[in-house]
Chains A and B, each alone.
Chain A
Amino acid sequence: MKNRMDSIAAISTAVGNSGISVIRISGPDSFVVAEGIFKGKGSFSSFKSHTILYGKKIDPDNGSVIDEVLITKMAAPKTYTREDVVEINCHGGYVTASKILELLYRQGIRPAEAGEFTKRAFMNGRIDLAQAEAVMDLISSRTEKSSKIALSQLEGKLSVEVNRLRQGLVDILAEIEVNLDYPEYDFEEITAEKCSVRLEDIKEDLKILIESFSFGKILREGMEVAIIGKPNAGKSSLLNRLSRKNRAIVTDIPGTTRDILEEYVNIHGLPIKLIDTAGLRQTDDRVEKIGVEKALEVIDSSDLIHLILDAKSGFEKEDKDILEKVGQYSDKTLFVVNKTDATDPEKINEIRNKIPEFLEISVLEDSGINALECEIYKFVNKSRMDTDNLVLVTNARHKMLLEEALEGIDAAKSAIDKGMTLDIISMDIKSAADKLGEITGHMVSEEVILNIFQRFCVGK
């Protein structure tokens, strides 16, 4: 059959998130293959659609049992992809899951590309392109807030704003074009200066949209918060506290953490990626040295830095060195003084002399942690309005198109400055409008012509 899709499979739970892994298979062969590797009460084919079965996974080559599984059978078309779908729940995390996957691949199932299930849902008419793109974002969104943005995008908030800007460009274009196509008529000629002013307005709004992307990215992919500081300051302890897990090893030996550790946490509905780092100090230990280098890289790439100071030890030489290193990142540095349970006013003052403002916490006594979380939240929302009312660009393709539109406007403006002719200026404005039209799905040239006839009186 010509139009038949092949069958695909992938682990559909995020790796390492939980004890259970879900493997999803979609496509015409999924039932046949499931039949071959599943052993339960009765054969797979005899089960009803949309039921969950208990059984064992076996290796069809040698009959050996791999794992106990729960298996869901869903027949087309009432499935996510509108194809036959099988979902296998197995425990034992990534390793077992990969084994099952390998088995499936051996049976002729193809590994799914990233987002391919959604792509199929889209192709089979379950969702449209804008939805598909938003769903792709939803898949990777880890918390509620982010989902909300994905949803409001489905509702076309972005489209409305992009359309408004595009309309502005179309208006300018019509005024230029009517002059080019009807030179014998006495319209007020659009001047380059006027054109430039109007372009500038549109450009400003476009920039705001583009900037919203980095914020959208934080909401979608999580903001990266680096925890840095001298050895033994309590960095790993803080990571464990914020993530409510015993993720990092904590000892009173300075230099415990050698590598970077990442952990996702949810702070007031925002996804945050915490990064614990090796304590920063001069060291001859080869392993630790690498850790320190990595920590420095993280300082650079993260969205927010928590510089942890130790109230017990006070301000030391190492702290001074670290201060110098983060000097250039002052915009994104939050100073945190830990171990306030084991200090005296003297030591705190010592620190205050060097650093005027900081947050006081004690991981041990669980004090100041709430305030710290609030600071993180505030930082994300810094100078932003309520996210619920923001028009956010969360999709990389949209951002790229917006940037290309901006380039077009810049080119038009520079053509105006250089004294270029209207045909050239119009070319750049048109390409900007076209880029925006690619987001909203409009054909610019037709609209310009429509606009000309609506606004100008021309003809024989």
Chain B
Amino acid sequence: MGITFEEYDVIVVGAGHAGCEAALAAARMGAKTAVFTINMDSIANMPCNPNIGGTAKGHLVREIDALGGEMGRCADKTLIQSRTLNTTKGPAVYSLRAQIDRRSYQREMKHTLELQENLHLRQEEITDLLTENNKIVGVKTHLGIIYPCKAVILTTGTFLKGRIIIGDVSYSSGPDGLFPADRLSESLKGLGIELLRFKTGTPARINRRSIDFSVMTEQPGDNPIVPFSFEHETIDREQVSCYLTYTTEKTHKIIRENLHRSPMYSGTIEGIGPRYCPSFEDKVVRFADKERHQVFVEPMGLDTEEVYLQGFSTSMPVDVQIEMVRSLPGLENAQIMRYAYAIEYDCINPLILKPSLEFKKIDGLVSAGQINGSSGYEEAAAQGLIAGINAVLKLHNKEPLILDRSQAYIGVLIDDLVTKGTKEPYRMMTSRAEYRLHLRQDNADARLTPIGYKLGLISEERYQKFLKKQQAIEKEIERIRKKNITPSIEVNNFLERCGSAKIKSGVKLSDLLKRPEITYESLREIDPDRPELPASVTEEVAISIKYEGYILKQMQQIEQFKKMEKSLIPEDIDYNKISGLRLEARQKLSEQRPVSLGQASRISGVSPADISVLVIYLNAITRRSNENDE
């Protein structure tokens, strides 16, 4: 037996993006917290792409920030290029994406953890979870030390039984040359937790001095930079560019000729990889008639010459990799610094989790990030934040924080995982969100900051600032709705220049703003008494008015949705007694035990007819119990 050390409220296993958010949230909510990492210099590492955000992921970062998480702030401090994607495709899908100096990001995050009250950082590998009567009581580390605790948050990323595969070479390893966590898997299995094996991959890193950028398309950042965090108004910084090149017929030929050497096709890899993150050999096989594929060259940081080849992940043997890379225009003389690899790791089937991310069967155990079957830094951080919050709420005997699908992408993410499960690493996409027009990145604060404030994760100062912003938005919307515009020559000239129909009688300013060809900015010309407002305010004002009808429609859909979410299913329901259910539905429902009709309706294998049966059944019970009460 080992020595028993300090006791904690919450222990976080792993200090990646999920672990950092979990640890910070728990500590900030007052719990005595420790975060354990295998390597203190790898906190908040980005072992894959050196960027944060993108479609749907950018939304997640905004939401994390709105709730009081760290990722947005840290990204703002360390970004070296920023872009807003989808600017022509509509407000629901505007998405922020930034290239990050990854070492700075790590330093920044580590320092934030170090400065945090109630939080200890420890470099030790957790090898065992200690339980009594299916309740967490502590953890044991590789040094034989026992730390008693009330809750454990597992954020093990790709470390659990990590195995790296490059061609016919494979070895036990964590990502990015780090040690794997080999022993914890056994402990989890011992607790009756079934483990799945997932796979992901990363492309090669090249020394930029060996690249000829002159044959590539430069992709500079946007100006001005739009920050992720609602705390930051502007960011003034020199930006660096990314570059775009394309694969050639030669690249595809190399793949076809060496396909038999790919571990994916020879059967060495058993883990299930994501469809949206296919290796390049997958792309060539599955989309044989596509003549060329894009490859983006992205900087890894300011103080390094390493660059990342987005779109070119592979698990081919190294000699093939060299050939592949050098077949790309501009990379003929490329010098590879790190080879591409595929990595397999243990994860859980998220269906064994409650919507709060707690394990259904083990009290005090919570998990977040890749161990739950997701992929991506942002997805991990979002879950980490919720896991941290809920671990502490549980200690205080409070209801967990469960964001629903109409409140946040975070809600969609977690609901998808714990309700539908996943057969491959799960990536967030805007098309997964039913209420996309409401779940915009510009209003994430309106949706979530009051919640973060109540939890104690948003400071009083920030909250007051938030309230002021909301007031400013409302006031400006009111003003635009009320302001009359008369058909003067000046106004009609302006409209003509915008390619918009002239007006014959007076209209409200808001009516003009609703025209697709007219922007809030352009209206300044005929709206001289407009107040000076920050971009964050005017953006929301413009969207609220321009898309008013559609937003209203969405709100009605949300109301419908909420009804189903609010019809709770009694916890002790016996699905075997409802013989109207089809066998498959009965099994799935008994296994997963959804909390509401809404959640039940999203379980795969439960049909609308089964839901009708449930509705009738639940109505019958309530009617009878009402009668009995009378």
* A residues with CB within 8 A of B: 2-6, 82, 119, 122-125, 128-130, 173, 177, 179-186, 418-424, 427, 430-431, 438, 441, 443, 445-446, 448-449, 452-453, 457-460
Q: Kindly identify which residue among A419, A422, A431, A438 contacts B608, using a CB–CB cutoff of 8 Å.
A: A438
B609 surroundings in chain A (CB, below 8 A): 128-130, 441
**Further contacts, 4 of them, CB under 8 A, given A183-B86, A427-B436, A460-B313:** A421-B91, A457-B286, A458-B276, A459-B274
Residue numbers in A under 8 Å from B437 (CB-CB): 423-424, 427
Asked if residues A459 and B577 are in contact (CB atoms below 8 Å), the reply is no
Chain A contacts for B616, CB-based, 8 A: 119, 123
Q: Are B620 and A181 in contact (CB under 8 A)?
A: no
**Is there a chain A Cβ closer than 8 Å to B283's Cβ?**
yes
Cβ-neighbour of B311 out of A421, A430, A446, A460 (below 8 A):
A460
User: Chain A interface: which of B20-28, B287-295, B452-460?
Assistant: B287-295
B203 close to chain A: CB less than 8 A: yes
* Closest beta carbon of chain B to A397's beta carbon, Å: 11
Q: Could you say which residues of chain A place their CB within 8 Å of the CB of B483?
A: none
* Contact of B626 with A by CB under 8 A: no
**8 pairs, A vs B, C-beta closer than 8 Å:** A123-B580, A183-B95, A421-B516, A423-B436, A441-B607, A449-B432, A452-B431, A458-B276
Partner of B90, one of A2, A185, A421: A421
Please, which residue of chain A has its CB at the minimum distance from the CB of B83? Answer: A184
Nearest Cβ in chain B — how far from A357, in angstroms? 50
Chain A residues with CB below 8 A from B313, complex form: 459-460
- Give the distance to chain B from A180, nearest Cβ to Cβ, in Å: 5
- Complex CA distance for A422 and B429, rounded to whole angstroms: 15
Given contacts A460-B311, A460-B313, contact A419 B516 (CB under 8 A): yes
Q: Which of B264-299 contact A (CB under 8 A)?
A: 274-278, 283, 286-287, 290, 293-294, 296
Known: A2-B621, A123-B580, A460-B48. A180 touches B431 (CB 8 A): yes
Interface string of B605-630 (1 = CB under 8 A from A): 00111001100110011001000000
Tell me whether A423 and B91 are in contact (CB under 8 A): yes
Within 8 A of A (CB), among B411-459: 420, 429-432, 434, 436-437
Residues of B within 8 A of A423 (CB): 89-93, 430, 436-437
Indicate if B511 sits at the interface (CB-CB under 8 A): no
Docked-complex contact A184 and B85, CB < 8 angstroms: yes
How far is A453 from B425 in the complex, measured between Cα atoms in Å?
14
Say whether A124 contacts B580, CB under 8 Å. Answer: yes
Let me know if B127 is at the binding interface, CB within 8 A: no
Residue from the list B275, B430, B617, B624 in contact with A180, Cβ < 8 A: B430
Q: Choose one: A2, A129, A453; the contact of B275 (CB below 8 Å).
A: A453
Partner pick for B430 among A3, A181, A186, A458, CB 8 A cutoff:
A181
Count of chain B residues near A, Cβ 8 A: 61
Interchain CB contact (< 8 A) of B434 among A419, A424, A445, A460: A445
In the complex, the answer to whether B88 meets A421 with C-beta atoms within 8 Å is yes
A181 to B517, Cβ gap below 8 A?
no
Please tell me if the beta carbons of A459 and B283 are within 8 angstroms of each other in the complex: yes
A420-B582 in contact (CB<8A): no
In the assembly, what is the distance between CA of A177 and CA of B579, in Å?
A: 40
How many Å from the CB of A262 to the closest CB on chain B?
34
- Contact A459:B277 (CB < 8 A) given known A125-B581, A422-B90: yes
Partner among A184, A420, A448 whose Cβ is within 8 Å of the Cβ of B431: A448
**What residues of B have a CB within 8 angstroms of the CB of A185 in the complex?**
294
Hey, which chain B residues are within 8 Å of A422, CB to CB?
Answer: 89-90, 93
Contact of A124 among B286, B294, B579 (CB under 8 A): B579
Tell me whether B550 and A427 are in contact (CB under 8 A): yes
Taken together as a complex, chains A and B put the C-alpha atoms of A309 and B86 apart, in Å, by 71
| Chain B residues in 8 Å Cβ range of A122 | 580, 613
Q: Does any Cβ of A come within 8 Å of B55's Cβ?
A: yes
Which of B85, B92, B431, B581 lies at the interface centre, i.e. has the most chain A CB atoms within 10 A of its CB?
B431
Given the interface pairs A3-B577, A124-B579, the reply to whether A445 lies near B277 with Cβ below 8 Å is no
Closest CB of chain A to B439's CB: distance in Å?
11
Q: Residues of B contacting A4 with CB < 8 Å?
A: 624
Contact of B579 among A119, A125, A446, A453 (CB under 8 A): A125
Most B Cβ at <10 Å: residue of A424, A449, A459: A459
**Which A-chain residue is minimally distant from B97 (CB atoms)?**
A184
Shortest CB–CB separation between residue B125 and chain A, in angstroms?
29
* Min distance, Cβ B405 to any Cβ of chain A, angstroms: 10
Contacts of A130 in B (CB 8 A): 609
Interface residue B207 (Cβ < 8 Å from any Cβ of A): no
- Contacts A125-B581, A181-B431 known; A418 to B86 CB distance under 8 Å? no
Interface assignment of B241: CB less than 8 Å from any CB of chain A: no
Chain A residue numbers with a CB within 8 Å of B517 are 419
B118 within 8 A of A: no
Asked whether B547 is an interface residue with its Cβ less than 8 Å from the other chain, the reply is: yes
In the A-B complex, the 10 residue pairs with the closest CB atoms: A421-B90, A423-B90, A129-B609, A423-B92, A125-B579, A123-B580, A419-B516, A457-B287, A453-B275, A177-B431
Q: A441 to B432, alpha carbons, bound, how many Å?
A: 18
Hey, which chain A residues are within 8 Å of B554, CB to CB?
A: 427
* Closest residue on chain B to residue A451 by CB atoms: B431
Nearest residue, chain A, Cβ from B613: A123
Q: Which residues of B contact A459 (CB under 8 A)?
A: 274-278, 283, 311, 313
B367 interface contact, C-beta 8 A: no
Q: Which of B40-94 contact A (CB under 8 A)?
A: 48-49, 55-56, 85-86, 88-93
A2–B624 CB distance below 8 A: yes
- Which residues of chain A are within 8 angstroms of B486 by Cβ–Cβ distance? none
Cβ of B239 within 8 Å of any chain A Cβ, yes or no, is: no
- Complex CA gap A2/B625 in Å reads 8
CA distance A423 to B577 in the complex (A): 44
Chain A residues contacting B93 (CB-CB under 8 Å) are 180-181, 183, 422-423
Residues of B within 8 Å of A427, CB to CB, are 92, 436-437, 550, 553-554
Contact B89 A180 (CB under 8 A): yes
The complex places the Cα of A458 from the Cα of B607 at a distance, in Å, of 31
Residues of B within 8 A of A82 (CB): 579
Q: Measured between alpha carbons, how far is A3 from B88 in the docked complex, in Å?
A: 56
- The distance in angstroms between the C-alpha atoms of A421 and B557, with both chains bound, is 20
Q: How far is the CA of A460 from the CA of B49 in the complex (A)?
A: 8
A407 to chain B, nearest CB (A): 11
Bound CA–CA A432/B343 (angstroms): 41
Enumerate chain A residues within 8 angstroms of B557, measured Cβ to Cβ.
431
CA distance A438 to B608 in the complex (A): 7
Interface residues of B in 576-621 (CB under 8 A from A): 577-582, 602, 607-609, 612-613, 616-617, 620-621
**Across-interface contacts of A181 in B (CB, < 8 A):** 55-56, 93, 429-431
Cβ contact within 8 Å between A445 and B431: yes
Q: Are A421 and B56 in contact (CB under 8 A)?
A: no
Q: In the bound complex, how far is the Cα of B606 from the Cα of A129, in angstroms?
A: 13
Check: B248 CB closer than 8 A to any chain A CB: no
Closest to B606 in A: A441
State A179–B86 Cα separation when bound (angstroms). 9
The distance in angstroms between the C-alpha atoms of A125 and B577, with both chains bound, is 11
Task: Report chain A residues within 8 Å CB of B234.
Answer: none
A209 CA to B89 CA, complexed, in Å = 33
CA of A198 to CA of B568, assembled, Å: 41
Task: Contacts A183-B55, A441-B607, A460-B49 given; indicate if A424 touches B90 (C-beta within 8 A).
Answer: yes
B612 CB, nearest partner CB in chain A, Å:
5
Q: Is B519 located at the chain interface by the 8 A CB criterion?
A: no
B492 on the A face (CB < 8 A): no
- Chain A positions within 8 Å of B275 at CB level: 453, 459
In Å, the complex CA distance between A181 and B90 comes to 12
Contacts of A438 in B (CB 8 A): 608
Docked pose: A458 CA to B296 CA in angstroms: 13
Give B551 Cβ to nearest chain A Cβ, in Å. Answer: 10
Complex Cα distance, B276 from A421, in Å, reads 25
Bound complex: CA A4 to CA B56 (Å) = 48
Is B311 touching A3 in the complex (CB atoms < 8 A)?
no
In the complex the two chains form, is B89's CB within 8 Å of A179's CB? yes
List, in ascending order, chain B residues with CB within 8 A of A457's CB: 278, 283, 286-287, 290, 293
- Give the most central of B89, B293, B436, B550: most A CB within 10 Å: B89
